Amino acid sequence: MKKISLALTSLALAFSANTALANCDAGERVVKFSHVTGGTTHPKVVAANNFAERVNQEMNGKLCVEVFPNSTLFGDSKELEALLLGDVQLLAPSLSKFGSYTDKYGVFDLPFIFKDMDHAIRFTKTPEGKKLLLEMDEYAGFVGLGYWMSGMKYFSANKPLIEPSDASGLKFRVQTSDVAKQMIAAMDASPQAMAFSEVYGALQTGVVDGQENTWSNIYTKKFYEVQDSITETNHQLLAYLFMTSSEFLDSLSAEDRAQFLQIADDVTQEANLSVKAKEAANRANILKAGGKINTLTPEQLNVWVETMKPVWKQFENYIGKDLINAAAGA
């Protein structure tokens, strides 16, 4: 039985990306899985590796999944283009990255629309949530295989953030999401879109003053080292679209496609069941490593909610009022 083939960061620096394909057996079809996340405890890393292990064991002799983490094959700005060109077959980008293809995924970015991850998972299982998996198939050829939860987001900055007004005048790194940009603007702060791999250096050098992320991203990327503190705002969901192309799926036999999709669904369900424990562990890891976390009273948190709630109205015509209501009421 072949071993899982992982293109680890250290190897990728020393060898070309093609070197990572050496563990695939002759005659097997290589399936490249590129993502931008590093470390070993991050939910996306664990899920990607689990998926590769399942496929490489259960479809041995047919498919061989190679995982390229930490932007070692393609970074934030290139991975969707690479999927379109067939240079990679699997991705797991943040749902915030699809603004150029559809406005609908903006529903996941709306501040405080989900009370917690369980609420978000319930929405993904509704007819509206399932329909979104195929939102980009017709005109982009992108097919969602499942939603991988990463966690709720928290703000960090080079000063304590207890109220939204504390962020006034600061620069925050955001993903390429119009919703996220308006959310930052609601705090009288400046949004700066930036690739994930560049965030640590930007925080360290003062190019940006703060960022917003999950416990796992903050810990595995060591953002706490270059920030004053993290505030437990729980303001927004971070989830990934585990995705492929319709071209790749259509190239599989009916039997292989059914098996591939079943493994994808199994891994997705398993990943989402375990993510809360991983997030709690990485929150504890931040504290153990010397990071500081600011907790908010219900009254303080409500100020954040009220400050950001107008963002919903700004995007109602783009996302759709019915979709927003379906997510909020799931």
The Cα-based distances of 186 to 111, 161, 258, 287, 309 in angstroms read 11, 14, 45, 29, 9
pTM (2 d.p.): 0.87
Domains of the chain: 29-329 (3.40.190.170)
> What is the Cα–Cα distance from 47 to 278, expressed in whole angstroms?
12
User: Regarding predicted confidence, which is higher, 103 or 22?
Assistant: 103
Q: What is the pLDDT of residues 153-197, one digit of tens each?
A: 999 999 999 999 999 999 999 998 899 999 999 999 999 999 898
Average pLDDT of the residues in 64-70: 95
Runs of H (alpha helix) within the chain: 9-14, 43-58, 79-85, 117-124, 127-132, 137-140, 178-185, 199-205, 215-220, 246-251, 254-288, 298-308, 310-314, 316-319, 321-328
DSSP 95-160: GGG-TTT-SGGGGGGSTTS-SSHHHHHHHHTSHHHHHHTTTTHHHH-EEEEEEEEEEE-EEEESS-
> What is the Cα–Cα distance from 297 to 42, expressed in whole angstroms?
28
How much is the pLDDT for 3? 42
Among 143, 7, 4, 125, CA closest to 69:
7
**pLDDT > 70 in the chain, percent:** 93
